[in-house]
């Protein structure tokens, strides 16, 4: 992966877009950061130690970006938000600019040619936004203001993914980030940030899945444009070490449903290695052949018994992984299945127990009936321990009180989420369509009186005058669906149990 200062942060268009996202979702009730600034004579507090990483221009850029959400720094640098996580009254972002960052901590080299990723913490406290950048002591001060109920101590400790290089490897069971049985090789030698990255590719120069080398938490997740490559950093569980993975296809990462802060198991699929591309993108990555760029936490670094020392140079040795993939819950949902992560999250949240036992199965390709949907929705809305009131058997003529899901169906109607499928009937054994599901999900999330904005015709197969167009487009606007492929939504297709898992996890933010 090659970078240069003239292209590292060509993010003028993309930075503005990211900042727009940042300001649109970061707020306290109806109070935005910009409003907080206007109402506070003190503006933003800077809790930054003297030995920080940022120049005065960088601090000015933070203040201006919080107000304007776009700022062209000296030397045509760009103060950019690469990733974001937020709660009720706080935000955690990853920021970067090659031109704004002037030096490293005293125990590292003094020059930075490729820029750095720097954690930024914002907390709304006593009527104003306070900010801290990089300094662990002062960042910790702000982190302590974030309630444990909103961000656990484990998550806080996993957020800071840029520790100094160490020669002592804390975790000793890293595996090569690809499947067993296929030979890979190193492409070139050490390079990149702090000269601690190596490039890998399959020996036969074909594409392949990228797997997590160790269990941990996603502490950076950035999309690069126009290449649509993704960068992921995963901080290894119970350590401060992380591995960075660069050049994964956007389509494959999105298909896995990965989000900032997610826990990933060793061997879990992260995405698919991207092919060659030309030009430069918003992450400052120049033209490159097909490879996986891996940024390592320590030097020397050992994976699968192979040690890469500071003097390592490509030696032509075939590298084989011992990855067997993570253990799975359902016998019919392997870790390579497209919705595996969502299905297991649904199970772990207590929303489903599967469709069979001995062995435990989920039946991911089976369609979801309207009766099953009632149970799924109410458990997603109220939690796994929720029990609805007893049914009367008088609400729908085709749902007697003795029907297995009668309690759930009548409660769904009581909450205004459904009025049935016709005059006095519910059609409990009928499959749920993707169009119907959009209405059910948004009513369960926002309440029975919710009305989505008017449709504009986002999907090629959902014209603006389609009966559920507004609901479908709002579902997409909230990031719950991206359609069924090629710009379409497939509104009349039946929802499968796999698709239902994705809908529920995204709608109710299940862990």
Residue of 110 and 495 predicted with greater confidence? 495
Q: Is 113 exposed, middle or buried (0-12, 13-18, 19+ CB in 10 A)?
A: exposed
The confidence score (pLDDT) of residue 373 equals: 95
Q: Which of 340 and 71 is assigned the larger pLDDT?
A: 340
Can you give the pLDDT at residue 48? 40
pLDDT at 233 (0 to 100) = 84
Mean pLDDT confidence for 145-153 = 76
Quote the crossing angle between the two packed helices 370-382 and 434-446, to the nearest 10°. Answer: 30
The more confident residue out of 454 and 325 is 454
* Residue 104, pLDDT score: 34
* Cβ-contact 473, 455 below 8 angstroms: yes
Given a cut of 60, whether residue 84 has pLDDT beyond it is no
The DSSP output letter for 74 is: G
Question: Is the pLDDT assigned to residue 499 strictly greater than 50?
Answer: yes
195 and 108 Cβ atoms separated by less than 8 Å: no
Burial group, residue 389, by CB count within 10 angstroms (0-12, 13-18, 19+) = exposed
Neighbours of 214 (CB within 10 A): 23
Q: Determine the pLDDT at residue 119.
A: 63
Confidence at residue 39, expressed as pLDDT on a 0 to 100 scale: 27
pLDDT (mean) for 268-283: 77
Q: Which residue has the higher pLDDT, 438 or 295?
A: 438
pLDDT at 368 over 90: yes
Q: For residue 504, which phi and psi values (nearest 5 degrees)?
A: -70, -45
Nearest to 94 by CA among 315, 207, 242: 242
pTM of the model: 0.56
Cβ atoms of 314 and 188 within 8 Å: the answer is: yes
3-state secondary structure of 25: helix
pLDDT of residue 474: 94
* Residue scoring higher pLDDT (104 or 222): 222
At 133, the pLDDT band (50, 70, 90 cuts) reads: low
- More confident position, 42 or 460: 460
C-alpha to C-alpha distance for 100 and 79, rounded to whole angstroms: 8
Mean pLDDT computed over 113-119: 46
For the stretch 1-28, pLDDT in tens is: 333 332 322 222 333 233 333 333 333 2
| Cα separation, 472 vs 475, whole angstroms | 5
pLDDT at 95 (0 to 100): 58
pLDDT of residue 463: 96
Task: Tell me the pLDDT tens digit for each residue of 168-221.
Answer: 788 889 999 998 888 999 987 887 756 788 899 999 888 889 999 998 888 777
């Amino acid at each position: 992966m090659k970078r240069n200062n003239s292209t590292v942060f060509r993010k003028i268009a993309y930075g503005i877009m990211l900042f727009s996202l940042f300001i649109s979702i970061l707020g306290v009730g109806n109070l935005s950061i910009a409003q907080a600034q206007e109402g506070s004579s003190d503006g933003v507090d800077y809790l930054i130690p003297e030995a920080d990483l940022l120049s005065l221009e960088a601090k000015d850029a933070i203040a201006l970006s919080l107000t304007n959400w776009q700022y062209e720094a000296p030397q045509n640098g760009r103060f950019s938000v690469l990733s974001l996580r937020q709660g009720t009254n706080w935000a955690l972002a990853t920021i970067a600019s090659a031109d704004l960052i002037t030096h490293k901590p005293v125990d590292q080299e003094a020059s930075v040619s490729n820029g750095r990723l720097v954690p930024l913490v914002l907390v709304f406290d006593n009527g104003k936004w306070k900010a801290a950048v990089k300094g662990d002591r002062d960042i910790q001060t702000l982190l302590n203001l974030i309630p444990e109920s909103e961000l656990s101590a484990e998550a806080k400790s996993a957020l800071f993914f840029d520790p100094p290089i160490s020669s002592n490897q804390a975790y000793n069971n890293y595996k090569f980030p690809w499947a067993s049985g296929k030979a890979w090789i190193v492409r070139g030698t050490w390079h990149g940030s702090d000269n601690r990255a190596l490039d890998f590719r399959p020996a036969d120069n074909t594409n392949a899945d990228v797997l997590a080398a160790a269990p941990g938490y996603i502490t950076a997740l950035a999309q690069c444009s126009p290449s649509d490559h993704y960068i992921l950093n995963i901080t290894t569980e119970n350590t401060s070490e992380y591995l960075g993975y660069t050049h994964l296809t956007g389509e494959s990462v999105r298909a896995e449903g990965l989000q900032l802060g997610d826990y990933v198991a060793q061997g879990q699929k992260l995405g698919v290695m991207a092919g060659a591309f030309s030009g430069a993108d918003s992450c400052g990555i120049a033209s490159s052949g097909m490879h996986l760029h891996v940024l390592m936490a320590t030097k020397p670094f050992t994976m699968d018994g192979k040690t890469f020392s500071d003097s390592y140079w490509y030696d032509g040795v075939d590298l084989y992984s011992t990855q067997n993939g993570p253990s799975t819950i359902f016998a019919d949902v392997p870790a390579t299945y497209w919705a595996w992560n969502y299905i297991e999250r649904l199970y772990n949240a207590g929303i489903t127990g599967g469709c069979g036992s001995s062995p435990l199965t989920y039946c991911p390709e089976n369609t979801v009936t309207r009766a099953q949907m009632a149970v799924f929705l109410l458990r997603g809305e109220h939690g796994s321990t929720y029990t609805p009131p007893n049914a009367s058997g008088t609400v729908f003529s085709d749902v007697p009180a003795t029907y297995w899901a009668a309690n759930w169906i009548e409660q769904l109607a009581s909450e205004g989420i459904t009025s049935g499928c016709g005059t006095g009937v519910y059609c409990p054994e009928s499959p749920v369509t993707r169009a119907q599901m959009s209405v059910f999900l948004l009513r369960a999330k926002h309440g029975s009186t919710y009305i989505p904005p008017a449709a504009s015709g986002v999907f090629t197969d959902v014209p603006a005058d389609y009966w559920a167009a507004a609901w479908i487009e709002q579902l997409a606007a909230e990031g719950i669906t991206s359609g069924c492929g090629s710009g379409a939504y497939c509104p009349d297709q039946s929802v499968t149990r796999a698709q239902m898992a994705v809908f529920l996890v995204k709608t109710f933010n299940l862990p």
